[in-house]
Amino acid sequence: MKEGKPEDLKIRTRKFALRVISLYGAMPKRTESQVIGKQMLRSGTSVGAHYREALRARSTAEYISKLEGGMQELEETMYWFELIVDSGIFSESRISDLAKEADELMAILTTIVKRQKGQ
């Protein structure tokens, strides 16, 4: 069930969560920023939790389901990143590295799920 080096992805998703936490901490204290930020904080920090749950899955179907849950959270996080930029809370350059990491994590999880479904 488990692919490659799960420890690496455990660390990477935790680092992603910590970067999301840091971004939230830097957000302006205006109401609209905080509402968007809290949504981003919730979805961005749950990606790693879903991945860790997947590692404890009792079946391939459960493994895939947990990974797909993480992918949904990543997609939502990317949406909040877009709103943060589009609303002028932060510039695109301020979150571009974090958005790139979200894209890369999505690609990794997508590949794992496709491989699992192909077995």
Q: What is the CATH number of the domain that holds 92?
A: 1.20.1440.60
Residue 1 lies in a domain: no
Strands (E), 36-89: none
pLDDT mean by block of 10 residues, the chain; 119 residues: 64 97 97 97 98 96 97 98 97 97 97 91
pLDDT of 86 reads 97
Return the C-alpha torsion angle 18, 12, 83, 114, nearest 10.
Answer: -150
For residues 21 and 15, give the distance between their C-alpha atoms in angstroms, rounded to a whole number. Answer: 10
At 6 the pLDDT is: 53
Domain membership of residue 64 (yes or no) is yes
State the total domains in the chain: 1
In order of 75, 92, 93, the CA distances from 97 in angstroms are 16, 9, 8
Structural domain range at position 112 = 6-118
Buried b (16+ CB within 10 A) or exposed e, 69-78: bbbebbebbb
pLDDT reported for residue 118 = 87
Q: What does the pLDDT read at residue 93?
A: 97
> 4: left (phi > 0), else alpha (psi -120 to 50), else beta?
left
Tokens of 53: 């749950």
The pTM of the full predicted model, rounded to 2 decimals, is: 0.91
Give residue 5's region: left, alpha or beta (phi > 0; psi -120 to 50). beta
Does any domain span residue 67?
yes
Is 62 a member of any domain?
yes
Judged by DSSP in three states, 45 sits in helix
